[in-house]
Amino acid sequence: MSDLFSPLSLRDCEIPNRIAVSPMCQYSCDPDGLPTEWHRVHLGSRAVGGAGIVMTEATAVSPEGRITPHDLGIWSDEHAEALRPITEFVREQGSVPAIQLAHAGHKASKTRPWDGNVPIAPDEIDPDGADGWEVLSPSPDAYPPFSGDRPAMRKATQDDIEGVIEAYRDAAERSLEAGFEIAEVHAAHGYLLHEFLSPVTNRREDDYGGSFEDRTRLLREVVRAVRDVWPEGKPVFVRISGTDWLEDRDSWDVDQSVRLADDLAELGVDLIDVSSGGLHPEQDAPGGPNFQVPLAEAVRQGSDAAVGAVGGITEPEQADALVRNDRTDLVLVGREFLRDPYFGLRAAEDLETDAPEEWPIQYRRAVR
Ligand SMILES: Cc1cc2nc3c(=O)[nH]c(=O)nc-3n(C[C@H](O)[C@H](O)[C@H](O)COP(=O)(O)O)c2cc1C
């Protein structure tokens, strides 16, 4: 038995192996945020393909929290109902269904990547005729946009902040209704919660900006709200950017990530999913195989939290070594799962686990 195929127990949740499908936006909804057949096939195929966890794309907790008008949402009971057949199918394949709960902050109201990823102003429409909206930010003047013109931004008021916390709480309740086992709070990649964490984008002088304690307050309040409604036996993950990759200025870095991980573990977070960057166009990020693993490793060593590593993990032996050498507890695989939906099954074969038994019965004649 390889280490990659050892089960991971978090609370009452038994994850059959250490491979998770990393959250990946599909931009394939109508502007109502409801899943389509695309989502059922996309997520279902990766469950068939042997992933221990199948995580949804960033799923917006409110309509204005979408990156594009075509993002998945979980802001009404209708969304929960529409997602249920997907979680049921994922579970039937032996995978654990997880949902990433997101608010895009100032990176909201954009066209889809294949339409240029540029802001859609509140009085404009995207190429499919979907409306733009005003986006929310901790400090609108703090940073330049990644692409296109500056979006129409509004500084988050106390009411907005309370609304965001409530939206996360409601979204978690609906995720439970929809049948998800794991809720992941998205606090990475320059979206709203990360914008509050980083001194680069948070210049507030109220209780939500300034010191480490104040910049992390919103995330802690969101996590508390989610944990409040998420059952004791089910895990909560948080995805963070381990660093902003902006060493030339006061920014979010790995030391703060380690400190945050301990705070989050105390609030009942079971695993920190450690990604990086995405906050500022001047980021100086490395790339290549395992490029974010040292960040996950630092969080794992410096805090009480279990971690997930992600980024440039494409080979079964590579993924297995990360678990075997205690560098991470979970491996999240993104683009390789787009290239090969059966990455999990292939890994089982390559690493010589009892592969044929892992394949769905419908497919076994292909592997015996
Ligand atoms: C098409 C695509 C969509 C993505 N959407 C999300 C997302 O919704 N949420 C998120 O946290 N990361 C998102 N990411 C980042 C991935 O989850 C992952 O962290 C990144 O691709 C690095 O892993 P990889 O090298 O295995 O692809 C996306 C990446 C891709 C390629």
User: What is the whole-number distance in angstroms between the Cα of residue 333 and the centre of ligand 1?
Assistant: 8
Ligand 1 centroid – CA 89 distance (Å): 23
**Nearest C-alpha neighbor of 83 from the set 181, 219, 196, 217:** 181
Tokens of 11: 């609370």
104's tokens? 């895009």
Q: Which amino acid is at 57?
A: E
Q: How far is the CA of 27 from the centre of ligand 1 (A)?
A: 13
In a mutational test of the pocket of ligand 1, which residue from 19, 25, 39 has the highest number of ligand atoms less than 8 Å from its CB?
A: 25
164/184 Cα distance (integer angstroms): 15
The answer to whether the CB of 223 falls within 8 A of the CB of 170 is: no
- Say how far apart CA 24 and CA 45 lie, in whole Å: 14
Among protein residues, the one with the nearest Cα to ligand 1's atom 7 is 24
- Nearest C-alpha neighbor of 192 from the set 106, 111, 286, 287: 106
Q: What pLDDT score does 253 carry?
A: 98
Q: Whose CA is nearest to atom 14 of ligand 1?
A: 24
Ligand 1: distance of its center to the CA of 334 in Å? 5
208 part of the active site: no
- For the CA of 310, the nearest atom of ligand 1: 23
pTM over 0.75: yes
Task: Name which residue sits closest to atom 23 of ligand 1, judged by CA.
Answer: 311
Task: Kindly give the distance from the C-alpha atom of residue 13 to the centroid of ligand 1, in angstroms, as a whole number.
Answer: 24
Nearest-atom index, ligand 1, CA of 188: 11
C-alpha distances (whole Å) from 157 to each of 99, 147, 207 are 27, 26, 11
Per-residue model confidence as pLDDT tens for the chain (368 residues): 789 999 999 999 999 999 999 999 999 999 999 999 999 999 999 999 999 999 999 999 999 999 999 999 999 999 999 999 999 999 999 999 999 999 999 999 999 999 999 999 999 999 999 999 999 999 988 766 666 667 788 999 999 999 999 999 999 999 999 999 999 999 999 999 999 999 999 999 999 999 999 999 999 999 999 999 999 999 999 999 999 999 999 999 999 999 999 999 999 999 999 999 999 999 999 999 999 999 999 999 999 899 999 999 999 999 999 999 999 999 999 999 999 999 999 999 999 776 666 788 999 888 87
pLDDT of residue 152: 81
Q: What CATH number corresponds to the domain at position 163?
A: 3.20.20.70
Can you give the pLDDT at residue 226? Answer: 98
In this predicted structure, what is the pLDDT of residue 140? 87
Residue of minimum CA distance from atom 1 in ligand 1: 24
| Alpha-carbon distances, residue 121 vs 68, 105, 280 (angstroms) | 12, 14, 21
Q: How many domains, in total, are found in the chain?
A: 1
Q: Looking at residue 366, what is its pLDDT?
A: 87
Residue 304 sits in which domain range? 3-366
Helices (H), the chain: 37-48, 77-92, 158-178, 192-197, 212-215, 217-229, 254-266, 293-302, 316-324, 335-339, 343-350, 355-358
Q: Whose CA is nearest to atom 26 of ligand 1?
A: 334
| Ligand 1 centroid to residue 368 C-alpha, Å | 34
Q: List residues near ligand 1 (CB under 6 A).
A: 22-25, 57-58, 100, 186, 188-189, 239, 275, 310-313, 333-336
Cross-strand partners of 55: 98
Q: How far is residue 89's CA from residue 85's CA, in Å, rounded to a whole number?
A: 6
**138 SS3 class:** coil
Pocket test for ligand 1, best of 19, 21, 22 (most atoms within 8 A of CB): 22
